[in-house]
Amino acid sequence: MYGTFTASALNPLTWTFAQRLLAGFLGCAGVLLYALYTQIYGGLTPCPLCTLQRGAFMALAAVFVLGSLHAPRRFAVRAIYVALAVLIALLGAGVAVRHVWLQQLPPDQVPACGPDLAHMLQSWPLLDVVRQVLTGSGECAVVDWRFLGLSMPAWSLLTFLVLALWSALALRATPSFR
């Protein structure tokens, strides 16, 4: 019945594929909203690697919401959504690993600051922009926010890994709403 609420509704392991992807979308949306909050109210300007991680969270959120709305019944189609979500989450995790690594460098080994991302996107070819961003710059090595001893890129890394695992677990869910 649709009008009753049971205790099993609180158990994520009993959720359908669409419900699990919707939860993944809400997780991504929460991360992105917090990033905007820290930017607007906390004064934290995102570096190029932060911007790439935000882009990965946006792409992951799009896959989650599309998969949730589509709610495919066929296993193969659900597997495509999951594979895409895991791929995007792992790419985001890769960017976060690079970011955490840059933040761990001694100050004398930090790369010099380059032009800002908006300028690079306007004046450089896209592949050159990606190459420059992934090599990092001095502004990416700055740690200006911590929670429980971890920087924001470290939390992003953990979140990407959790979302990749959550996506893989969604494949084991029942195909559609009951």
Which residue ranges make up each domain of the chain?
16-170
pLDDT for residue 102 is more than 60: yes
pTM: 0.80
Q: What is the mean pLDDT of the chain?
A: 82
Higher pLDDT, 99 or 28: 28
Question: Do 177 and 120 contact (CB within 8 A), yes or no?
Answer: no
Q: What is the pLDDT of residue 178?
A: 46
What architecture is the 16-170 domain classified under in CATH? Up-down Bundle (1.20)
